[in-house]
Structure 1
Amino acid sequence: MRSGITKYTVAAAVLATASALLIPGTASAAAPRGPGSAGEDTAAGNEERPLEKNWAKLHDLTDAPRNCLDNAYVKGCVQPYGDMLWLRDDEWDGIDVRLVWIDNSDPEDPRRGICQDAEGYGDWTRCDKDLPDGHEIKWTTSWWADGEWRLGKAQRIII
């Protein structure tokens, strides 16, 4: 178990902040701070579709084409063929890293989720998703720093 982060702590803070970055018109949404905030079972502002939460599993990185985002804390990739979300924790801090994504093809009922890596430093992990072909997925990486979840630059990819 990673320090300060329990198995059931998932992302209201990340999702609210990510929604502000990834969904047009929501930039003013206030983000709860820190892990374990209330409202983690449904996507921010959407009580109909639950947030998809997946724990990434250890897996060797494959040679399949993918789009990646990298910084000092986390490397994340989206592989459109096979619908794989890849994560690697690049910080020895003992805290999980995440890949936050949204399929906003249906603005009335967006599909959103978090792939969370709790396996520790340096190992590749992945979440195997079933995302609709032809949809644009917006995504970013997330890491815990200075008491809050931080987000990388938002990326887009067609699945």
Structure 2
Amino acid sequence: MRANWSVKLSVLAGASALALSVVASAPALAEDSSGGLQEVQMPGDVEIIEGTAPAPGTADPLSGGTFKTAAASGACLGTTSTYGVKGCFQPGGDIVWSRDTEKDGMSAAVGVYTDYGRPAAVCVNKLGADTWATCNKDYREDGNVRLRVMRYNGDNGKFYQPEAWSGWIPVDGQY
């Protein structure tokens, strides 16, 4: 009977330790958190560009199929995605594509960085969930661009993680 008591006490102590570790390791959420997203710091000279809807009947840059109001024709390179956003770069016109994939009140944002010192620009898709937006920029043909996809809150003008980066993409599309 005494051995039984010892086993019960051990089980009780283990369960208590487990419960305490769960409570201690669960992070507390801040009152003003944006759904658990963390703010991303952007360069001070970043240009924010509001994307526009592609012409109806345009080809989806990733699938090649057409859709109601969407994307451009031609190959889209450097496809990068994370929660709520997908982006790519279309050489031959230097078009940045930004797709909002989540209905969460935030916008998709695709940052573009160059390897030749041009200030960063961000293409923001404020058209709503399940839409593509485009931003037409002119980059040096002998340069490379890199995409950074993240979320954007238009109410406070801040960018949020999760974020993802593409590799370097040749502006002329020739690897």
Scaled by the length of structure 1, what TM-score is found? 0.62
| Counterpart in the other structure of 1:82 | 93
CA contact (8 A) 1:56 1:126 kept: yes
1:52 and 2:47 matched: yes
Moved over 4 A (4+): none
Distance 2:109 2:159 in 1: 13
Relative to structure 1, is the Cα distance of residues 123 and 148 closer, same or farther in structure 2, using a 3 angstrom cutoff? closer
Distance 1:14 1:57, change over 3 A: farther
Bigger radius of gyration among the two = 2
Identity %: 20
Matches within 5 A, 1:102-113: 102-106=113-117, 110-113=118-121
What residue number does 1:15 align with? 42
> Could you tell me how far 1:15 is from its partner in structure 2?
1.9
Any unmatched runs of 5+ in structure 1?
1-11, 17-41, 44-50
What stretches of structure 2 of length at least 5 have no aligned partner? Answer: 1-38, 55-69
TM (norm. structure 2) is: 0.57
How many angstroms apart in 2 are the aligned matches of 1:55 and 1:66?
19
**Is contact 2:109–2:125 with CA below 8 Å preserved after alignment?**
yes
Partner of 2:34: none
1:156 aligns to 2:151 (yes or no): no
Task: Give CA-to-partner distance per residue, 1:66-98, whole Å, 9 cap, x none.
Answer: 111133411101111110000110001011110
CA RMSD between the two structures: 2.3
Q: Residue 84 of structure 2 contacts residue 151 of structure 2 at CA under 8 Å; is this kept in 1?
A: yes
Number of the residue aligned with 2:6: none
Q: Give yes or no for contact 1:138–1:155 (8 Å, CA) kept in 2.
A: yes
